[in-house]
Amino acid sequence: MTIKIYDTKARAKREFVPVHEGEVRMYVCGPTVYNFIHIGNARTFISFDTVRRYLEWRGFKVTFVQNVTDVDDKIIKKANEEGTTAEAVASHYTEQFIADMRAAGVKDPDIRPKATEEIPAMIELVQLLIERGHAYEAEGDVYFDVRSYGAYGELSGRNIDEMESGHRELRADGQGLEDRKRDPLDFALWKAAKPGEPSWDSPWGQGRPGWHIECSAMSKKYLDLPFDIHGGGADLCFPHHENERAQSEAAYGVTFNNYWMHGGMLNINNEKMSKSLGNFLLLRDVLQTTPAAVLRMLMLQTHYRSPLDFSDDRLKESETALSRIENFVKNTRWAAENAGAADAVDAAAGEGKALDAAALSAAVDAMRAGFTESMDDDFNTAGALGFVFTFVNEANALIGEASLAADDAHALKAAADAVAELVAVLGIELGGAEDEASYPAEIFDLAREVAGYEGADGEAAVQALLDARAAARAEKNWAVADSVRDGFTAAGFVIEDTPQGARVSRK
């Protein structure tokens, strides 16, 4: 079984063949740290985190590099607005970025280089480009000579002559800086320092690097060329990635990377997210009210290359979808632990057929196969989750009415574990909604009132209530038994009476 990846440059899915067998070296452009990251950024980073996790699960040794752009016009502007330094702005938002990513369940990259710590590698690369005739200095700036690199435009599918006419129109309003370039298409590799801006010594005087050069320098330094996968949001394809490729291939004379992956943009209620439309959402604000697993469920139900629509309705749907999976895993683990315990009750009641454990195991195998096939097909997370949901339905039907024997414990546990394992491959960790804080105060109040439970452990409070209800029923004290049921209902839970005893799940 091979993995296929849609390669932007080929404009087709291509079979994935890594440069070094069993290893994947990937580079995903990181953020410019002048603000908290928004959920659009988060979508792109979650997509590539999922790609990485899946490749690791498929047995590859993955090296994941993501830079932090900590010197840039936007950072300098923010520092001026706030009366602080660019360094202070960048270091604050770098820390916040790392915290937000962890809160969203995105794994730390193996290497997270910062632009400001890699200036010597960038200067070396710019010098190489000048030596090889692909770049020139102009009044302390250095520009890449786009026409010196014949493959310019190949990645984004642009024609160099059409691009130029577009630029000429732009120049009509007399942008001063443009005049230092020999050709309007040329882009800056190094920018001469302006007063008050961060700057470094260079062979061309004090200055700072252009944005594109940092990724070319860092990917070469940490991954070597050609590396396997280069990723980012679709908005980075041109000019950022086109320029990275031009710099690296012109300087080193080898292929930059073998697969280009671009993620689709996130929109809000079908509108582009923007500050001026007032629909700008920060990741940290969303995570205040939404567990990371729900957010990932929402994002991964859309293919990473398609536009993603973010809305409250979709969040609610994702919450419901996640709780179906969580309830299944929780209930099935519970059933595995208790299978056989109530044989006598079943026999007395004379109901419940035996579990078809072979059918359950076959359904697990089908889910694993479908999941893998979908993910192998250009990381089709929506398809992969579809197999998990189908399995949960089938398994619920098989387990639902069966009376479970001790022998069934193994098949039940395997079913629950397989679901938890596969969703974890997508970075969806189950159990987040099960902690004590997620039980509402009504449950604790009821547990105190009916069962005398005074603690703060949600699971223990629920168990105390179920025990009190069982005792009340045994005594035919229907008033107390009903008050427990009604209390759970009011708090958004249902009690299910199963052959193995009562259990509680979210409605």
Q: Does 28 bind Zn ion (CB under 5 A)?
A: no
Site string (38-67) toward ligand AMP, x via CB under 6 A: --xx-xx-----------------------
Which of 65, 223, 251, 266 is the binder for ligand AMP (CB under 6 A)?
266
Residue with tokens 């168990």: 463
Q: Cα–Cα distances in Å, from 308 out to 11, 279, 315, 380?
A: 20, 15, 12, 14
User: Which residue sits closest to ligand AMP, CB atoms considered?
Assistant: 233
User: Which C-beta is closer to ligand AMP: that of 40 or that of 153?
Assistant: 40
Who contacts 349 (Cβ-Cβ below 8 Å, separation ≥6)?
499
DSSP string, 328-345: HHHHHHHHHHHTTTTHHH
Among 215, 217, 300, 491, binds Zn ion (CB under 5 A): 215
Please report whether residue 261 would count as binding Zn ion according to CB under 5 A: no
Stretch of residues binding ligand AMP (CB under 6 A), selected from 35-43, 88-96, 178-186, 249-257: 35-43
Beta bridge partners, 250, equal none
Size of the site for Zn ion (CB under 5 A): 2
The count of other CB atoms within 10 Å of the CB of residue 282 is: 17
Smaller CB distance to Zn ion: residue 218 or 357?
218
Stretch that binds Zn ion, among 9-17, 214-222, 292-300, 464-472 (CB under 5 A): 214-222
171 Cα distance to chain centroid: 39
Give yes or no for residue 29 binding Zn ion (CB under 5 A): yes
The least CB distance from residue 337 to ligand AMP, in Å, is 43
CB 178, min distance to ligand AMP, A:
23
The two structure tokens encoding residue 403: 């009376």
The C-alpha atoms of residue 459 and residue 443 are separated, in whole angstroms, by: 10
Is residue 219 at the binding interface for ligand AMP, with CB under 6 A as the rule?
no
Indicate the SS3 state at residue 140: coil
Beta carbon nearer to ligand AMP, 266 or 462: 266
Structural tokens at position 363 = 């359904």
Pick the closer one to ligand AMP by CB: 141 or 214: 214
Stretch that binds ligand AMP, among 26-34, 120-128, 427-435, 496-504 (CB under 6 A): 26-34
Token pair, residue 407, equals 């022998």
Contact 228, 258 (CB under 8 A): yes
Helices (H), 135-210: 160-171
Residues that bind ligand AMP (CB under 6 A): 29, 31-32, 40-41, 43-44, 232-233, 235-236, 265-266, 273
